[in-house]
Structure 1
Amino acid sequence: MMIMDQYDDDEQQQGAGFNPADLLRTFMRRKWLFLIPFVLCLGMAYVAIKTMRPIYFSAGQVRVIQEATAARTLTEGMPRYRSSRDADRETMTLIRTIVTSPIFLQRVVTELDLTVLDMLPGLVEAGQVTNAGKPVEGVLMDRMVSTLEKSIRVGNQESQIFTIGVRHERPELAFRLAREILDRFLEEEQAGRLEVTTTTRDFLNEQRQIYIDALENAQERLTAFQRSMLSTSLVGNPVNEQNLAQAEGLLSDFRHRIEELEFTDITQSREAARAVLPAVGQLEPLVGREADVLAIMRDLADLEYNQIVTALTARQGRDTQNLLGTMRLSLDSQLSRRIAEEYPQLGGAERRTVTMYLYTLNYRDVLDRVAARFSEQVEEYRNFLTRQPEQAANLSRLQSEVESAQSMLHNIEQDITRENLSLAASMSEIGYRIEVRREPRMPFGPIEPDKKKLAMMGIALALAIGVGLVLLAEMLDRSFKSVQQIESTLKLKVIGALPVVDDGPFDNLRRRRVL
């Protein structure tokens, strides 16, 4: 009798390579691990398709137009965007910011007279809200706005084309919401651009007035400083950079002249006058305080000063010399007359001696005044030279402030002009603008649930789970499948194997005998 060796058959088949029959037998042997998950997944997909609420989607499209004037901003004079990606990103941010704004959505809800039944049907079904058909406010309004915000979809379909849509369970309401949101977005966007331009222009006008005041103030301070420089430094001062050394020499000679007059002429004339008139000391202050004498001394001081200026500036001083001689004679005559009135007993020679003393004494005062005046002017010019760097710095700072204010005022004027152009561009809809590319349409069918998608997902999931379970069971099966496995496990040499006896025919025979 021939013995069927199943393991030998398996070894021969395995040696032949991949055998689809073995794979089929494996799946047939574990068919329930595949069929049960497959049926369950398909059932779940069917239940989901039948029980999910349909969601409808209505959307419109807008297009961003950038004409020649949009390549550069009217307010900045430089490229508005570096690339189309930057433009799309900014426009997307603008659309999301406007259409998801709570105030914007509240206006949409109010404009369409939406109720809780329209936006929150779940609350109505649960009985949490009464009077569902009436407009609401407060917390319910906030919940309606939040629900509407979650149902809005904004997308960038392609460059400069954007989609604004609404998802809702009711197709007519999705269409109404999408149309209202699209129209109101365009109004808000244009109004926002006009408001920004107008606000910027008003701000620039205020800044212009501020800088006009600042410019006037800076100009006034600059003018006042220049006047102070002229009034405190060189106006009327004959001393300058070229003749400073000469002026110092003249001043030194003039002081030397005063010293000689003091120590020589006054001393000698004083002794001679006292010898003639011992009470001459009492006459000195009286004569010096008389109005006529003081007037002559002032004129003499001016003439002496003019003579120094003439010598300093190399001008002709013949007239000054003549006047100076005349005024000296006038002073001498006035003093002689005054002495004759006070002391008539003096003879002509004695009166002349006393007159010369008083003349020399008073003329010394004239020269002192001239020396003090000229010394002050020389010192003024020296101080001017000392203060010149500081004054130059202050003058430069004030001039810089004036120029800065003028520059800022000029820039603001240019900005105001650009804003006026930008406002005109916004009003006339040129340059950068957004327009409707496609109006929202009434949806013909729901976008959710997608029956084909759910069916394909159910089939794919069922196949994945079924095949996975079969492979897992096959991997976890520890029964012997080959002679090598038996020999490796038992550490014995296998010389033969008996086939599995099928009792099926015997059971059928016994069943027929019983019948």
Structure 2
Amino acid sequence: MKSDYELSLRDYIAIIKERALVLGVSAAVILAATVAVALMVPPIYQSTGTILVESQQIPPELVSTNTTTFADERIELIRQRVMTRENLLRIIDKYSLFADKRLSEGDKIDQLRNAIVVEPLTTFVRGRGEATVAFNVSFEHRQPEVAKQVTDELVTLFLNENLKQRTERANETTEFLTQEADKLGAELASLENQLADFKQAHANALPEHQTLRMNMLSRSELEFREVDRDYKAAQEELRYLELELSAANAGLATKTGDAARPASADQPQDLASLKAEYARLLTRYKEAHPDVVAVKRKIQALEASGNPTAVASTVSLDAARVRAKMSAAQERITSLADQKRELTKKMEGYEAEILEAPQVERGLVTLMRDHDNARKKYEEIRAKEMGAKITESLEQENKAERFVLLEPPLMPEKPIKPNRKKIAALGLVLAPAGGGALVVLLELFNQRVRGVGALENLLGKRVLVALPYIDTRADVARRKRWRNGLIVAALVLAAILLVLIHLFYMPLDVLLLKFTSKFA
């Protein structure tokens, strides 16, 4: 046959008539196979439990919680902790799942994980958008009782694991904050000891005593000036006594009176005493001073009269008295000098402490800043520790966000798999498609010439006369046998389908009752 010849509609109809038996048988076989698969596939039951994510009962403004993740993240975390190898093996052994000995332990765990479904249920929450408010825990198995039991076990694991996880987290948070508080407490105590040692080591240069040191320095300076004045007065008195001693050694000693003081006006005086007094006054005042002028007049008056008073005592007695006064004056000068040295040393100490105060203040400020920072951290961590303890009590009393069993798993009444109707409908589609594909395949391998047009196209010449095919008695008998066989096969196939439906899908009487009830 040439490649440019195309089959006509009449040719396609002829092929269908010729291959009707093959097309019918193949379509029936495919349909029967799909129906058999739909009926013979074992049913899978699913049991589902719903767990509600209940929010915290006590307002978060009063008691905060340590939950920092969203519900779907916590659900996924708990799912990973529930579906551990240990838990799954325990469930497999407890309910005798996967009795096939050819399966390894890993294969059983994988099949169990594939049979467990955790599905979050979300809703729109104002201010948060889509939020998870609950989730379903499901398990699939061929036996409805086992499906329910395993789902109960899984729901219990989810609830217990959530409580355990939140309690452990609260305990770990409290323990961590307690350890940190102890560390900060030890650090704060160390800083307090350092601060106390620093203050003790620089007790005389602390900034808070600066005003007191300034006052003490001023007082010491005032006292130093007073001592210095007394010291100078004692030195002048000593110089006067030295003059008086010189006069006594010369035989001009006074009869009575104190060498350290000028004689009063009513006491008897001699010329030597007046001259000694005059010399002493000149060391202190000028010649125009009234006291100097008065003593000078007395001396002039005595000299003019020519009757000086006689010496009442010997020279040695006057000299001894003067030496005794000089010794007392020297001791006083020594004492005053010692006081001046002590006061000078004290003032130098005050000045050194005043100069040292800024450096001490700098070190003290650093220690105080470290101490204040450590104290603030300690108080903050203690407040957090108290909040963590309250949160721990909240978790232990199950007052925080929790998982609540909303709908317990029920015994499944109908299988969820397979969808027998869809499989049968697929068979209705595949049956004619498969039969048609078989006919096309057979025609591809068939080299016969179909009709007058194909023959003219093959020979390149026009056909004058075409004789139709004449059926013989043998052909008629053969077609009759095929027809009868096809009817018998169809009846047998229908009987087999009814038996399969009765055994694997639904009893025929129940199916008939449901069918008639729809039209009643």
Q: Give the TM-score band, short-chain normalised.
A: 0.5 to 0.7
Per the alignment, residue 44 of structure 2 pairs with 55
Distance (Å, rounded) in 2 between the aligned partners of 1:466 and 1:234: 109
Distance (Å, rounded) in 1 between the aligned partners of 2:341 and 2:357: 24
Distance (Å, rounded) in 2 between the aligned partners of 1:474 and 1:323: 150
The one-character-per-residue Cα deviations of 1:282-320 (angstroms, maximum 9, x if unpaired) are xxxxxxxxxxxxxxxxxxxxxxxx9x84485xx577865
Per the alignment, residue 385 of structure 2 pairs with 416
Task: Determine if contact 1:218/1:401 at 8 Å carries over to the other structure.
Answer: yes
Question: After alignment, is 460-469 or 416-425 more displaced?
Answer: 460-469
Q: Which amino acid aligns with 1:61?
A: T
Per the alignment, residue 424 of structure 2 pairs with 455
Per the alignment, residue 463 of structure 2 pairs with 498
Residue 187 (1) aligns with residue 160 (2): yes
Return the index of the structure with the highest Cα Rg: 2
Distance (Å, rounded) in 1 between the aligned partners of 2:28 and 2:356: 111
Count of equivalent residues: 385
Residue 90 (1) aligns with residue 73 (2): yes
Residue 163 (1) aligns with residue 136 (2): yes
Distance (Å, rounded) in 2 between the aligned partners of 1:511 and 1:145: 63
Task: Determine if contact 2:231/2:333 at 8 Å carries over to the other structure.
Answer: no
Per the alignment, residue 171 of structure 2 pairs with 198
Decide whether aligned partners of structure 1 residues 502 and 214 sit closer, same or farther in structure 2, where only a CA change above 3 A counts: farther
Decide whether aligned partners of structure 1 residues 37 and 408 sit closer, same or farther in structure 2, where only a CA change above 3 A counts: farther
Per the alignment, residue 268 of structure 1 pairs with none
Decide whether aligned partners of structure 1 residues 236 and 212 sit closer, same or farther in structure 2, where only a CA change above 3 A counts: closer
Q: SS where residue 384 of structure 2 aligns?
A: helix
Task: Determine if contact 1:72/1:80 at 8 Å carries over to the other structure.
Answer: no
Distance (Å, rounded) in 2 between the aligned partners of 1:71 and 1:38: 69
Q: Which amino acid aligns with 1:97?
A: Q
Task: Determine if contact 1:73/1:80 at 8 Å carries over to the other structure.
Answer: no
Decide whether aligned partners of structure 1 residues 486 and 355 sit closer, same or farther in structure 2, where only a CA change above 3 A counts: farther
Instruction: Choose from 121, 141, 146 the match for 2:99.
Output: 121
Question: After alignment, is 363-372 or 213-222 more displaced?
Answer: 363-372
Distance (Å, rounded) in 1 between the aligned partners of 2:234 and 2:464: 165
> Where in structure 2 are the equivalents of 1:34-433 lying within 5 Å?
38-39=27-28, 41-49=30-38, 51-66=40-55, 69=58, 74-75=63-64, 86-87=70-71, 89-105=72-88, 108=91, 114=94, 118-123=96-101, 148-159=112-123, 160-232=133-205, 309-310=218-219, 312=221, 315=222, 320=227, 374-375=347-348, 377-385=350-358, 387=359, 391-392=361-362, 394-433=363-402
Q: SS where residue 140 of structure 2 aligns?
A: strand
Decide whether aligned partners of structure 1 residues 42 and 406 sit closer, same or farther in structure 2, where only a CA change above 3 A counts: farther
Task: Determine if contact 2:177/2:385 at 8 Å carries over to the other structure.
Answer: yes
Per the alignment, residue 409 of structure 2 pairs with 440
Decide whether aligned partners of structure 1 residues 374 and 154 sit closer, same or farther in structure 2, where only a CA change above 3 A counts: same
Decide whether aligned partners of structure 1 residues 479 and 225 sit closer, same or farther in structure 2, where only a CA change above 3 A counts: farther
Task: Determine if contact 2:30/2:431 at 8 Å carries over to the other structure.
Answer: yes
What TM-score do you get using the length of structure 2 for normalisation?
Answer: 0.54
Distance (Å, rounded) in 2 between the aligned partners of 1:33 and 1:398: 104
Q: Which amino acid aligns with 2:174?
A: R
Per the alignment, residue 260 of structure 2 pairs with none
Task: Determine if contact 1:56/1:448 at 8 Å carries over to the other structure.
Answer: yes
Aligned-residue identity in percent: 18
Q: Tell me how far 1:93 sits from its aligned partner.
A: 0.5
Task: Determine if contact 1:37/1:462 at 8 Å carries over to the other structure.
Answer: yes
Decide whether aligned partners of structure 1 residues 235 and 454 sit closer, same or farther in structure 2, where only a CA change above 3 A counts: closer
Q: SS where residue 504 of structure 1 aligns?
A: coil
Q: Tell me how far 1:377 sits from its aligned partner.
A: 4.8
Q: Tell me how far 1:438 sits from its aligned partner.
A: 1.5
Decide whether aligned partners of structure 1 residues 76 and 28 sit closer, same or farther in structure 2, where only a CA change above 3 A counts: farther
Over the aligned positions, Cα root-mean-square deviation in angstroms equals 5.7
Q: SS where residue 409 of structure 1 aligns?
A: helix
Task: Determine if contact 1:156/1:162 at 8 Å carries over to the other structure.
Answer: yes
What TM-score do you get using the length of structure 1 for normalisation?
Answer: 0.55
Task: Determine if contact 1:60/1:178 at 8 Å carries over to the other structure.
Answer: yes
Distance (Å, rounded) in 2 between the aligned partners of 1:317 and 1:362: 13
Task: Determine if contact 1:62/1:436 at 8 Å carries over to the other structure.
Answer: yes
Q: Which amino acid aligns with 2:421?
A: K
Distance (Å, rounded) in 2 between the aligned partners of 1:371 and 1:318: 11
Task: Determine if contact 2:65/2:400 at 8 Å carries over to the other structure.
Answer: no
Distance (Å, rounded) in 1 between the aligned partners of 2:169 and 2:91: 23
Distance (Å, rounded) in 2 between the aligned partners of 1:434 and 1:179: 15
Distance (Å, rounded) in 1 between the aligned partners of 2:418 and 2:388: 51
The one-character-per-residue Cα deviations of 1:95-122 (angstroms, maximum 9, x if unpaired) are 4124313444456567xxx36xx22321
Distance (Å, rounded) in 2 between the aligned partners of 1:102 and 1:508: 76
Q: Tell me how far 1:151 sits from its aligned partner.
A: 3.2
Q: Which amino acid aligns with 1:195?
A: E
Distance (Å, rounded) in 1 between the aligned partners of 2:173 and 2:150: 33
Distance (Å, rounded) in 2 between the aligned partners of 1:510 and 1:102: 72
Task: Determine if contact 1:98/1:185 at 8 Å carries over to the other structure.
Answer: no
Q: Tell me how far 1:215 sits from its aligned partner.
A: 2.4
Task: Determine if contact 1:215/1:402 at 8 Å carries over to the other structure.
Answer: yes
The one-character-per-residue Cα deviations of 1:114-143 (angstroms, maximum 9, x if unpaired) are 36xx223212xx7x9xxxxxxxxxx97x88
Q: Which amino acid aligns with 1:451?
A: R
Per the alignment, residue 488 of structure 2 pairs with none
Q: Tell me how far 1:504 sits from its aligned partner.
A: 0.7
Decide whether aligned partners of structure 1 residues 441 and 217 sit closer, same or farther in structure 2, where only a CA change above 3 A counts: same
